[in-house]
């Protein structure tokens, strides 16, 4: 299921002519050794990682809708502004790059620094239990942490193992072409580092 990224197109850090990117258009090049997708929407130009963080789908072949891009393989959706994975099945964001216009040329600068200004959930909640340890429950737990929820967080499951990539079970994994390491959505240490208590109701 994973795609291999080979760099193609111009080195965007050296600049391209503004005229190469039409309004509504997109272009693939590279910067900092990574494939980069440039998208022009009106007066804005976005530069993001061109490879889907799910299984490496080519985002340049996906659909741009407003300020989002949808992966053509399994339809994960990413924000062009922040790189955030807005819709399943991707969990990780794509990189965002700074873009600068100098005269009639566009340059892709370095990667944007992640802003650690997580919004603290102001609901007063101090404990959350999510029932269901599948992709949906897992994504909810991750998002709560990313959005700044710092209280107790429990993921209650009827499964014997932490959340897994179920679609892979009946495809590459069953065919023997996906290693077992690909099956968990996150490694066990992730739950500890994010302070997510994964509990199996079977225990």
Q: Residue 172: enclosing H or E segment and its boundaries?
A: helix 172-175
User: How many whole angstroms separate alpha carbon 8 and alpha carbon 28?
Assistant: 7
Site string for ligand FAD, 12-31 (x = CB under 6 A): --------------------
Least distance from C-beta 65 to ligand FAD, angstroms? 20
Single residue of 45, 69, 71, 130 touching ligand FES by CB under 6 A: 71
β-pairing, 197-200 vs 152-157, is parallel
Pick the closer one to ligand FES by CB: 46 or 198: 46
Give the count of residues interacting with ligand FAD (CB under 6 A). 16
Pick the closer one to ligand FES by CB: 153 or 178: 178
Pick the closer one to ligand FAD by CB: 145 or 166: 166
> CA 6 from chain center: how many Å?
19
Q: Categorise residue 176: left if φ over 0, alpha if ψ from -120 to 50, beta otherwise.
A: left
- Preceding omega of 165 cis (within 30 degrees of 0): no
For the beta carbon of residue 66, count every other beta carbon within 10 angstroms: 8
Q: Using CB under 6 A as the criterion, which residues of the chain lie in contact with ligand FES when the complex forms?
A: 52, 54-57, 71, 73-76, 89-90
Binding site for ligand FAD (CB under 6 A): 131-137, 156-159, 166-167, 169-170, 201
């Amino acid at each position: 299921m994973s795609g291999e990224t080979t760099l193609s197109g111009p080195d965007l850090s050296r600049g391209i002519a503004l005229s190469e990117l039409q309004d509504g258009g997109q272009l693939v090049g590279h910067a900092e050794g990574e494939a980069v997708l440039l998208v022009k929407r009106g007066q804005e130009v976005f530069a993001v990682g061109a490879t889907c963080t799910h299984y490496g789908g080519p985002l340049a072949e996906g659909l741009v809708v407003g300020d989002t891009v949808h992966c053509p393989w399994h339809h994960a959706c990413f924000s062009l502004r922040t790189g955030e994975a807005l819709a399943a099945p991707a969990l990780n964001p794509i990189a965002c790059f700074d873009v600068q216009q100098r005269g009639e040329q566009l340059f892709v600068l370095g990667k944007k620094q992640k802003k650690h200004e997580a919004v603290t959930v102001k609901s007063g909640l101090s404990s959350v239990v999510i029932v269901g340890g599948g992709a949906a429950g897992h994504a909810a737990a991750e998002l709560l942490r990313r959005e700044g929820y710092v209280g107790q967080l429990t993921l209650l499951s009827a499964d014997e193992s932490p959340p897994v990539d179920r679609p892979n079970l009946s495809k590459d994994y069953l065919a023997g072409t996906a290693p077992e390491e690909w099956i968990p959505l996150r490694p066990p240490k992730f739950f500890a580092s994010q302070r997510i208590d994964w509990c199996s109701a079977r225990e």
